[in-house]
Amino acid sequence: MPHDLEARVVELETRLAFQEHALNELNDALSAARIELSRTSETLRGALEELRASRPGSGGDPGLEPPPPHY
């Protein structure tokens, strides 16, 4: 009987070690994804600011843009 109990404890310890390892990997992946999301958000924010600034005289409001040349 003690051998059976010892085998069960070893199995539980093995599972716990595997789960801790998997949890650490998931945490690392989540941290990397958050950093990438932050970088992407900053890039998008900068691109939107450039786009707004590139519209002459509109200040970013499409309603204030001059009509196209064919009107």
C-alpha triplet 27, 32, 38: angle, nearest 5° = 125
Instruction: Give the count of beta carbons closer than 10 Å to the beta carbon of residue 12.
Output: 10
In the numeric block, which tokens belong to residue 3? 């051998």
- The pTM assigned to this predicted structure is 0.62
Q: What is the pLDDT of residues 5-21, one digit of tens each?
A: 999 999 999 999 999 99
Span 18-26, average pLDDT? 98
Mean pLDDT across the stretch 59-71?
71
Q: Render the burial of 21-57: b for 16+ CB within 10 Å, e for the rest.
A: eeeeeeeeeeeeeeeeeeeeeeeeeeeeeeeeeeeee
Query: Where do the domains of the chain lie?
Result: 21-49
For residue 59, the model assigns a pLDDT of 57
